[in-house]
Chains A and B, each alone.
Chain A
Amino acid sequence: MGNDLVSGALSRTIRRVPRLALTLLAVSFLTFMLTNLLPGDPALTLLGENASDEQIEALRLDLRLDEPLLARYVQWLGDAFTGDLGTSYRTGQPVTEAIVERLPVTVELGLVSLAMSLVVSILLAVWSAYRAGGVVDRFLTTASFGLMAVPNFLLALLLVIVFAVRLGWLPATGWVRFSEDPIGNMKSVILPAIALGANEVAVFMRVLRSDMVTTLRQDSITMARSKGLSTRRILLFHAFRPSSLSLVTIVGVQVGAIIGGSVIIETMFALPGVGRLLVDSIAERDLITVQGLALVIGVSVILVNFLTDSLYSFIDPRIRDGDR
């Protein structure tokens, strides 16, 4: 019986692979078209008005602008598969290298922020659901509305004002690598991570609280209680796990929001991450880098969502296809 359910979940996951492949292909095509739909001569646009004729001619050759669009796409996609996303015309650095260099910063920021917001939101949600309708619950519900109304750039600014400018406890900008100075690294990641994760706390808390309230009303909980199990045990083992399903999905969905938010937060705190690279590349009209970044970000978000969806159907095999 249990095996049937697992193999059912597995076959559902496998059945979704062709669609995943199709989506990835479409995302890559969209990204490719971005540069190629530029009005006028792409080579001229990429290099700017001051480029010499030879430079433009070299780039035209490089981009294979004389070949048909589809052939260029296939070539570009093949290169992307082997990790070649082209070379920036502003810095002369390969795009892949530029992204790989900055990826650890963004990943660390994202993970620290996700971990902090999960811990805080789970604690608050469990508390809130346990005393549903009570003072704490009502306060937290109201507070979560307030929290969601604070844009992350504003929160970042407020945190800098309090903890960097007034109290002077933490740096307002800059990044210290973990390998150089672990404590300095923690100090440089904490404010950005809070600013990035605060909205997620509200989102996660509301989802989990609502599911917990439903779970706590079920017979199995009354049963556990009548067996004399401690409240903590009931909340953590009997109620939290069955209630965490929507949370898993929401975390997957919010990964996109976290990546989007890191663009702002990294710029605000001057962190050398992928998001900052995107903003800088856009400001400098370094479109090859923008294109590479868009591809990497789009593909990562799709893969993360695919993984969480699959995880979801493993945790609860009753989920039907396409129920989102």
Chain B
Amino acid sequence: MAIGDVAPATAPTLAASPTAGRRRTRRRWRVSTVLGVGWIVLVLVAAVGADVLPLADPNAVDAKSALQPPSSDHWLGTDGLGRDQLSRLVHGAQVSMTVSVAAVAIGVFVGGLLGLTAGYLRGRFEGLVLGVSDVVLAFPGLVLLLVLLAYVGRSLVAISVIIGILSIPLYARVARANTLSVTEHEYVRAASVLGATRLLGVFREVLPNIVLPLTAYAFVALGRVIVLEGSLAFLGLSVKPPDPTWGQMIADSKRHISDTLWPLIPAASAMFFTVLALSLIGDRLRRTIDVRGEDA
């Protein structure tokens, strides 16, 4: 039944709109995805190479050259303390990427495993996983994060791990829902009839089917974590100064908005384009797997 549903559902959509407009839309999306991937690669290179690249010291204060517009000395200008913005931006990428990749990795791995097991075993374990998710998700993410950080203290590791743990329920739900839709398919049942043990069945038959949805979700989540870290920095509750983060740079620029916008522009654009790129990539992936895919 479930397998049969898939093919006819797509057929009318394809038959109804083989127009030039649609094709052009598709190509446009592909361009934006390529640009998105390119930008993320750039940010990753910056993050990994921050300490090797020939950049000024991101924390070197030089009061005489504060709030300068871009010049050949400082490509992106300087902030209120005369620190080089390009260097701070690149080092900030390191923090943003570390926090988001670590947090998402924890969430995907633990949450994916829990959701998969819950969806496959059903019964009590599933009830427990869903129940605990409900409790954690009852709190707005930022509120619980702030509260926990108040108790644990704020370091790069604490922030990454807590965001990771708090996002486990989300991934568990995505993984469970996808596991459920797969286990309804008959080939999985066939596999278990043919004697594949339950646990082996989970990994061999179900895992490949939930990896893609989880990955699509993870890309969007990476962007959310970057914003979350930025929010913390804005509240003065992220990694301790003077170490640069994008959120910290945006927060610092607040003091100078009546004089100049140069301190704001680099970090704000970097954050915007990174979050945008991640959500475009995530959306592209989701569209690839979602057979019911809406028109652009």
| A residues adjacent to B (C-beta < 8 A) | 19, 22-23, 26-27, 30, 34, 37-38, 132-133, 138, 141, 145-146, 148-154, 157, 160-161, 165, 210, 213, 256-257, 259-261, 263-264, 267-268, 278-279, 282-283, 285, 287, 290, 293-294, 297-299, 301-302, 305
Contacts and interface: CB of A to CB of B under 8 A. Distances in A.
A257 B151 CA distance: 22
Contacts of A301: 138-140
Interface residues of B, number: 50
B241 interface: no
Nearest to A262: B140
B209 interface: no
25 contacts: A19-B131, A23-B138, A27-B138, A34-B147, A34-B148, A148-B279, A149-B223, A149-B272, A149-B276, A151-B271, A153-B251, A154-B268, A161-B261, A213-B295, A259-B143, A263-B142, A263-B146, A264-B142, A264-B231, A264-B235, A287-B150, A293-B143, A297-B140, A298-B138, A301-B139
B151 A153 contact: no
Given A157-B268, A263-B142, A264-B234, 6 more contacts: A132-B295, A149-B272, A151-B227, A260-B143, A267-B235, A301-B139
A294 B148 CA distance: 10
Given A141-B296, A297-B143, A151 B276 contact: no
B138 A157 contact: no
B151 A38 contact: yes
Nearest to A291: B147
The 4 A-B pairs of least Cβ separation, nearest first, read A260-B140, A149-B276, A260-B142, A149-B275
Nearest to A20: B134
Contacts of B146: 263, 278-279, 282
Interface of B: 21-22, 25, 131-132, 134-135, 137-144, 146-151, 223, 227, 230-231, 234-237, 247, 250-251, 253-254, 257-258, 261, 264, 268, 271-273, 275-276, 279-280, 283, 294-296
B279 A145 contact: yes
A34 B162 CA distance: 14
A146 B276 contact: yes
Given A260-B141, A263-B146, A160 B268 contact: no
B231 A151 contact: yes
Nearest to A39: B151
A305 B133 CA distance: 14
B234 A213 contact: no
Nearest to A279: B235
Nearest to B21: A133
A157 B280 CA distance: 25
Nearest to B264: A157
A30 B235 contact: no
B76 to A, nearest CB: 17
Contacts of B258: 165
A34 B151 contact: yes
A153 B250 contact: yes
Contacts of B223: 149
A294 B138 CA distance: 10
